[in-house]
A and B are shown apart, each in its own frame.
Chain A
Amino acid sequence: MRATRLLDVVLRLYPSWWRAQYGEEVRTVSRDLLADGRSAWRVVLNLVIGAVRARVSGAGAPRHYALWAGRTRTSLVVATLPLMLVAPVIVSFRQGQQDEFPPARPGTLPFGPLNISSAGHAVYYSFAVMAIALVVGISTLVWGYANLAGAVRREGRNGRRLRRMVRLPAVAAALAVVLCVSGFVVAPRDFLIHHGVAQPLNGHYALSRGLYGGAAAFLSVGFLAGIIMLFMVSRQGHLSLADLAAGKWFGVTTSGVLWVMASAAVVSVVALWRQGSPVHATYSIVTTSWGSWWIAGVLTLVGAALVSTFGTVQAARALRVTAQLAPC
């Protein structure tokens, strides 16, 4: 029976402690309701909503230290992941802005356009705020990673696999830096422009491109390894109470940075909206960077800030219970 199989799938969405306590009963009651002629999709939808609520609230969860420490770790991952995922979006934002601004003219300041509308100014300063927030955000990620890696290595109960995994992002990032510097060293310095085509006079053009490509590949590997590491830590890692408490402040910083970025993006969009059509606005950072995807970009930032804040609040709540249950 398809509905019965669907019930089993939906019940897997519930936390394991919940399934152990109520799983069999809920399955029996749901089957009784289906046999009674109730709408299968309503029963399934109600179970899905119930599963989300059970995961979020943790109501009825047994008061075990390991369980609540796990909830704290998972909430911290929820708080952190949005910044990791939106960082590439923000970098694309920055790139578009750099391409868009006109070169400085004699007599003007080298930074920032002078003869632009008030909306353009708002966008320009929003970008500056976003750039600063991005630097703070990346520094926060590096700080958080260094703390987490140290915490995992310090805790003797963590397995060898996790300890190795924790090192991988740093190793990949170090290799990326080495390749990037090597690519810069061997890159051509002088070019001859012939019929509009630049031909290198020295260096190793193909090699430098290859090294830059390798650096990008290692950076991507490090990024993916970082995400996998976070999931591994949330599921099977052991962290001391002090490290969990430090993680809470990391979550607070992460969500704060995301809110600053989201606010800056919203300000720039509102400024352009008030000026007229955002798509055709002069020096439109948002629209020129993301094109017709600008609204998706802004919504992504706001969504990321909301998710990160939710994770931080959940982590703080779970940490409070974890601290009460901590063995002396």
Chain B
Amino acid sequence: MGRNRLGRTQDPTILVLTSLTGGPQHGYSLIQDIEAMSGVTLGPGTLYGVLARLEEEGLVEALPADDRRRPYRITAHGAVVLRERLETISTVARIGLKRLGAAGA
């Protein structure tokens, strides 16, 4: 599901940030939520690689651990960055769909 003929279309960074907009989540629930949301199954190595990078960039932050499961939440800066990225994707998608519709008509 993560790949099609155009290559990898789902950026794990966007998926993780989008999933965290619903509230703080720990690793396993992030994997399940992303799977339900987009059909993409992130492995633990990929997920924590992304979380490490996002934490370093200040886009997410870890909350105190609860039974060896540490929840993460999106920061205010992370929300701003995600909004910008999603708006770009949305604009591209809108234009693409419009043109496809015009070509089909």
| Chain B residues within 8 Å of chain A by Cβ, number | 20
B48 touches A50 (CB 8 A): yes
B43 touches A47 (CB 8 A): yes
Stretch at the interface among A23-31, A78-86, A121-129, A254-262: A23-31
| B96 located at the interface, meaning its Cβ lies under 8 Å from any Cβ of chain A in the complex | no
Stretch at the interface among A52-60, A111-119, A130-138, A293-301: A52-60
**CB-based nearest A residue for B30:** A29
Stretch at the interface among B49-57, B73-81, B83-91: B49-57
A 11-25 binary contact with B (CB < 8 Å = 1; else 0): 000000010011011
A9–chain B nearest beta-carbon distance, Å: 14
B43 touches A42 (CB 8 A): yes
- Complex formed: what's the CA distance from A22 to B65 in Å? 11
| A32 located at the interface, meaning its Cβ lies under 8 Å from any Cβ of chain B in the complex | yes
A30 touches B52 (CB 8 A): no
Chain B residues with Cβ under 8 A from A46's Cβ?
43-46
A151–chain B nearest beta-carbon distance, Å: 31
B33–chain A nearest beta-carbon distance, Å: 13
B49 touches A33 (CB 8 A): no
Among the listed B43, B46, B52, which residue makes an inter-chain contact with A22, where contact means beta carbons less than 8 Å apart? Answer: B52
Chain A residues with Cβ under 8 A from B49's Cβ?
50, 53-54, 57, 59
**CB-based nearest B residue for A59:** B53
- CB neighbors of A among B6-52 (8 A): 26-28, 31, 43-49, 51-52
Size class of the A contact interface (CB-based, 8 Å): 20 to 34
- Complex formed: what's the CA distance from A51 to B44 in Å? 11
A60 touches B70 (CB 8 A): no
Contact A49-B45, Cβ < 8 Å, known A54-B52, A59-B52, A60-B56: yes
Chain A residues with Cβ under 8 A from B46's Cβ?
46, 49-50
| B94 located at the interface, meaning its Cβ lies under 8 Å from any Cβ of chain A in the complex | no
B58–chain A nearest beta-carbon distance, Å: 12
| B3 located at the interface, meaning its Cβ lies under 8 Å from any Cβ of chain A in the complex | no
B43 touches A25 (CB 8 A): no
B68 touches A25 (CB 8 A): yes
B31 touches A29 (CB 8 A): yes
Chain B residues with Cβ under 8 A from A50's Cβ?
43-46, 48-49
Interface centre among A22, A30, A42, A45 (most CB of B within 10 A): A22
- Complex formed: what's the CA distance from A75 to B26 in Å? 33
A34–chain B nearest beta-carbon distance, Å: 10
- Complex formed: what's the CA distance from A24 to B68 in Å? 7
| B98 located at the interface, meaning its Cβ lies under 8 Å from any Cβ of chain A in the complex | no
| B69 located at the interface, meaning its Cβ lies under 8 Å from any Cβ of chain A in the complex | yes
| A43 located at the interface, meaning its Cβ lies under 8 Å from any Cβ of chain B in the complex | yes
A264–chain B nearest beta-carbon distance, Å: 36
Among the listed B31, B56, B70, which residue makes an inter-chain contact with A25, where contact means beta carbons less than 8 Å apart? Answer: B70
B69 touches A28 (CB 8 A): yes
| A313 located at the interface, meaning its Cβ lies under 8 Å from any Cβ of chain B in the complex | no
A 217-240 binary contact with B (CB < 8 Å = 1; else 0): 000000000000000000000000
Please give 4 more A-B residue pairs, beta carbons under 8 A apart, in addition to A25-B65, A26-B45, A33-B44.
Answer: A29-B26, A29-B44, A54-B52, A57-B53
Which 6 pairs show the lowest CB-CB distances between chains A and B?
A50-B45, A46-B43, A60-B52, A29-B27, A46-B45, A59-B53
